[in-house]
Amino acid sequence: MTEERGPLHVTGELLATKRIGAHHHLTVVARGVPERFRPGTFVAVSTGAERLARRPLWIHRVRPTGGYGATLELVVEERGPGTRWLVSQPAGTRLDVIGPLGRPFSLPKEPVACVLVGEGYAAGPLFPLAERLRERGCAITMVLVAPDEAHLLSALEARRSARAVTVVTADGSVGQRGSVADVLDETLERAGAAVVYAAGPDEVLHAAAAAAERAGAWSQVALERPMACATGLCHGCTVPVAGEGGHTRLVRSCTEGPVLRGDRVVWDGGEA
């Protein structure tokens, strides 16, 4: 019954963990998952049976490797017990992984100008997105946001696919000092953006959606809402979206998201 594109449940293996700045980059074997990856999808990892909620993590990259078929690269910021467990496992640890989950970013049919906005680890899925957009001939501007340099994904790599890269940190340790809202309107205008893609906390997504609206662009935002199952079973991760007819309905951010149209998300979080 499994669709070709549906998620897989596999026992994978942690191949390596590399610390870069405030992040841990995990290389994970999860047979079959990389082949189904599209930017904006994620995996849900078990961090032990006593922590019942799986931990959702963006797929940052898929890499072909010698013996293992392709591997996944995940970027983890240590915060609570689940991520602490994840980043402290030795290479060789078996990982119970489900993925790829969720709806990916939609790609424009025409080669239009795109602005990609990402904060911290959440910028992860924007890198493979940028590659695919470039393959389609889109002109890409990337805006990387972080509290400080340690939480910034590589701006160097961003330059490979992007024509222009803007870096904004809250403490000014690298790039421009400030918040994403400070730079968006100008960036969108300069880029002549037709589509804005955003990933990060709600403030970033909301700001990106609002700037897109002002600029007359489409927006696609990748939400990070707490998830219990990440597989659509529990109806715990609902987010209100404005339907076609103007009324609000609840969708599950794990299965109907995590990528949603920015102009549809009801940002105040009010439900019903």
Ligand X SMILES: Cc1cc2nc3c(=O)[nH]c(=O)nc-3n(C[C@H](O)[C@H](O)[C@H](O)COP(=O)(O)OP(=O)(O)OC[C@H]3O[C@@H](n4cnc5c(N)ncnc54)[C@H](O)[C@@H]3O)c2cc1C
The verdict on 137 binding ligand X (CB under 6 A) reads no
Name the residue nearer to a copy of itself (CB basis): 88 or 154: 88
> Residue 234: which of ligand X, ligand FMN, a copy of itself, none does it interact with, CB under 5 to 8 A by kind?
ligand FMN
Name the residue nearer to ligand FES (CB basis): 112 or 266: 266
The verdict on 234 binding ligand FMN (CB under 6 A) reads yes
Q: How far is the CB of 51 from ligand X (least distance, A)?
A: 7
Q: Which residues pair with 23 in a beta bridge?
A: 20, 77
The verdict on 250 binding ligand FMN (CB under 6 A) reads no
Provide the 10 A C-beta neighbour count for residue 268.
Answer: 8
Name the residue nearer to other proteins (CB basis): 154 or 248: 248
Number of residues counted as binding ligand FMN (CB under 6 A): 2
Q: How far is the CB of 24 from other proteins (least distance, A)?
A: 19
Q: How far is the CB of 152 from ligand X (least distance, A)?
A: 14
Q: How far is the CB of 253 from ligand FES (least distance, A)?
A: 6
The verdict on 251 binding ligand FMN (CB under 6 A) reads no
Answer whether 4's CB lies under 8 Å from 100's CB.
Answer: no
Q: How far is the CB of 205 from ligand FES (least distance, A)?
A: 18
Q: How far is the CB of 33 from other proteins (least distance, A)?
A: 13
Cis peptide before 258, with omega less than 30 degrees from 0?
Answer: yes
CA 54 to chain centre: 17
Sign of the CA dihedral running 241, 112, 42, 32? positive
The verdict on 51 binding ligand FES (CB under 6 A) reads no
Helix axes 180-191 and 202-215, enclosed angle (nearest 10)? 30
Which residues are near other proteins by CB under 8 A? 1-3, 6-7, 9, 46, 49-54, 80-81, 96, 98, 225-226, 228-229, 231-238, 250, 255, 269, 271-272
Nearest residue to the partner ligand FMN, using Cβ:
234
Sole binder of ligand X in the list 6, 80, 178, 243 (CB under 6 A): 80
The verdict on 37 binding ligand X (CB under 6 A) reads no
> Residue 90: which of a copy of itself, ligand X, other proteins, none does it interact with, CB under 5 to 8 A by kind?
a copy of itself
Name the residue nearer to ligand X (CB basis): 67 or 226: 226
- Chain residues that interact with ligand FMN, rule: CB under 6 A: 234, 236
